[in-house]
Amino acid sequence: MEMGKEIRRLRMDRGLTQEALANALNVTAQSVSKWECGTSVPDVQLLPEIAVYFGVTIDQLFAMDPEQQMERIDNYICDHGMFDEAEERQLEKQLNTFAENPAYKGKAELLLTLLYSHQAEQYRLLAVDHGKVAVEETNGDREAVGELAKAWGSVIPDWDYRNRHELIEWYSDYCRKHPKNRSAVMWLLDNLIDDRRLTEAREWIKKVAAIDDTFRVPMYRYLIAQAAGEKEEAEAQISVLESMAETQEWCCATTLGDIYVQRQEYDRAIEWYRKGQEIQPSPKYTDSARSIAHICEIRGDKKGAIEAYKEMLRIMKEDWGMISGEEREEVVRAIRKLQDQ
């Protein structure tokens, strides 16, 4: 009923007759009349054509309120591969319209960030595919090798290229204004440690400790000690984390998995990843299973990797009701690749 009303409103705004709209969509005037009366709805395959014709989104045809439309867009982006230019511009236009309203600006800007990051990641994957071919076809040309490495997110040894001083300065300024925003301070710490700005990291971990009493404090103390080459202190913080694992949230166990995998202690890493997945409440995330799959691939254990990827599919289906979509297809492709090797 709501869709029919919206189609009628859009048609009347354009000054169109039902016959004119029917001709444009290659349907009968009787079909348009039934839509507008609510006795039938357009075939699902017609919805994109109707939306393009009126210059609106499919969501708008359903006459959803802005919160519902933005939730739908969020899910749509996360469950989609690369958008073509028309789709991207349509989503961009709708989100920019929402951003003009102060009540929706924050969420709309977040979704614009998600949209652009999503497209950037899709282009990065495309660059990797073409980069592989370029390296092969140019017999390992130096420029082709370098471009593939950058597209694939390779480590860049040159400090002037890889340092994150602009990101760090922005987050430092933000965190000084909002010192109790744990999430922002943690992102700042991650980048300070990776850039080996450990003196600053030690000062910020004090601020984290003042607002947080979870495993995250010894986790960052471990990372700082590890980066500084302070082996005894690093081992001491691992012991603290292991003693906290039974009483802390599941992320503590998976953090230990991350630590042990970077030490190449793969069996212990798998043990902690499985522990984290076991104690994690439903709906569970697939991170632990994916990590185990990667460990198995590194070890050349195809059977173990396939089992871990199948566990991801099980979680997607049973915990999230996900039986299709790009995220699931990515896992299916990983399984096929292993089976074909």
Domain end (from 48, 83, 112):
112
55 domain-assigned:
yes
Q: Residue 67: is its pLDDT beyond 80?
A: yes
Instruction: Specify the pTM.
Output: 0.78
State the pLDDT at residue 136.
Answer: 97
286 domain-assigned:
yes
60 domain-assigned:
yes
Domain end (from 112, 143, 161):
112
48 domain-assigned:
yes
Cβ-based neighbour number of residue 154 at 10 Å: 11
Domain range for 334: 282-341
Domain end (from 87, 112, 137):
112
Number of domains in the chain: 2
Q: How far apart are CA 185 and CA 208, in angstroms?
A: 7
State the pLDDT at residue 63.
Answer: 66
58 domain-assigned:
yes
State the pLDDT at residue 340.
Answer: 93
- Please write the tens of the pLDDT for every residue from 160-186: 989 999 999 999 999 999 999 999 999
190 domain-assigned:
no
Q: Tell me, what CATH number does 46's domain have?
A: 1.10.260.40
Q: How far apart are CA 14 and CA 16, in angstroms?
A: 5
- Please write the tens of the pLDDT for every residue from 309-323: 999 999 999 998 888
75 domain-assigned:
yes
339 domain-assigned:
yes
State the pLDDT at residue 54.
Answer: 83
Q: What is the mean pLDDT of the chain?
A: 92
pLDDT-based confidence at residue 254 (cuts at 50, 70, 90): very high
pLDDT-based confidence at residue 299 (cuts at 50, 70, 90): very high
State the pLDDT at residue 87.
Answer: 83
